[in-house]
Amino acid sequence: MRSPKITFIGAGSTVFAKNLIGDLLSYPELAAAKITLFDIDEKRLTESEIIARRINQAVGARAVIEATTDRSKALDGADYAINMIQVGGYKPATVTDFALPSKAGLNQTIADSLGIGGIMRAVRTVPVLLSMAHDMERLCPDVLHLNYVNPMAMNCLGLNRGSKIRTVGLCHSVRHTAGELAADIGVPVEEIDYVVAGVNHVAFYLKFERDGQDLYPLIQQVIDEGRVPDTNRVRYDVFKRFGYFVTESSEHFAEYVPWYIKRDRPDLIEKFNIPLNEYPRRCESQLAEWESMSADLKDASKPIEVRRSVEYGSEIIHSIETGQPRVIYGNVMNRGAISNLPADACVELPILVDRQGLQPTMIGDLPMQLAALMQTQINVQKLTVEGILTGRRDHIHHAALLDPHTAAELDTDQIVRLVDDLLDAHGDFVPANLRRRSDKVA
């Protein structure tokens, strides 16, 4: 077996990097891989390096581990690049993405994938990812880029339009939701066969079966018996209305559509148990947890737990390196795989992985109501990416004007003003071609 070079971009996301490194080095065939950790934050990078070396020792692997703040060095000769960056971070970028819309009367829950928050995160992130991809074209043109960065669909769409690098977007929502539904209906998840397709965070289980038996009646039974989990009321309502279960969590999905969050309807917030401003709370909690967790993870006198995660990244690399076939869920350009969605959309669907690489499954037509719902998201995604790639600020306005939740809460003047205020507030995180003329560098 060869020893592939696997580069982690944004390796200062230490907990996530820990999980993926543990996954990779748990495979004997990958135990001698070269793991290169890259981040611009030296402190967090050093912490990740310490933890990576402890994992290497704990699982009895013999990986070569290095850490660097030099992006070119990190990418040079890489076979795989795993991306987990967050441009602008929680502070100031995410705080801004919540504060200004809230002031304008637009409430959000997560704001990292779709909606006005997702649009702004794409504006900050796509240009940085493209800069990295252009480095890859020069330093590792055959690399497989595994993107975990949100907003998933917009980032992958921008990467596929603006670079030659092979990219697959990876998200754990398919597996997480399958586990949640399995618990709700009392069926072991490993006994369930499912097929999912759509766009990231708005993909649906087209099939959910055990031994050929449709399990959707058991999901309906959860509603009939009044057993809907309090944290999942939105998704069960969507299932009731559309006939299929969506992959992303209720707190996410609530802000993708115009029905659940309305500033003059507090009854809806209570009825569907919607956690407004959830992402900032989550970030604060994670930062506090990290302070205590990091000391334990770095302490050589304490055992480090290595448990396989639900992430697809290591499975893809293992299948390509060994030829062992697997089906994973990934985000790629549609190109006709889902026949009633645009060919140039980014879609999430089953992908066969083996030594030949990634081979997306042909799905055919989705149920009409699902395709129509997804199209409302694709409109926003494509306009946002077009605006980023062409420097057309008006297309960022158009994307926000067509966003279902934003449009349901604000009028046209308010939406355009909010977009402009957000672009101004994000300053240098916004590419120069989208800044106001007076803000552009001469």
Active site amino acids: 172
And the tokens for 65? 């581990």
Nearest CA to 371 out of 158, 204, 154 is that of 204
Distance separating the N- and C-terminal Cα atoms of the chain:
52
d(CA 9, CA 440): 29
Hey, which residues does 209 pair with through a beta bridge? 193, 214
φ and ψ of 305, to 5 deg: -85, 125
CA dist 363 and 230 (Å) reads 33
Cβ partners under 8 Å of residue 273, min gap 6:
230, 231, 233, 250
Contact 29, 104 (CB under 8 A): no
CA distances from residue 91 to 49, 50, 85, 280 in whole angstroms, order as listed: 24, 25, 14, 10
| Residues in contact with 262: Cβ distance below 8 Å, sequence separation at least 6, in sequence order | 268, 408, 409
230-267 in b/e form (b: 16+ CB < 10 A) is: eebbbbbbbbeeeebbbbbbbbbbbbbbebbbeeeeee
3-state secondary structure of 20: helix
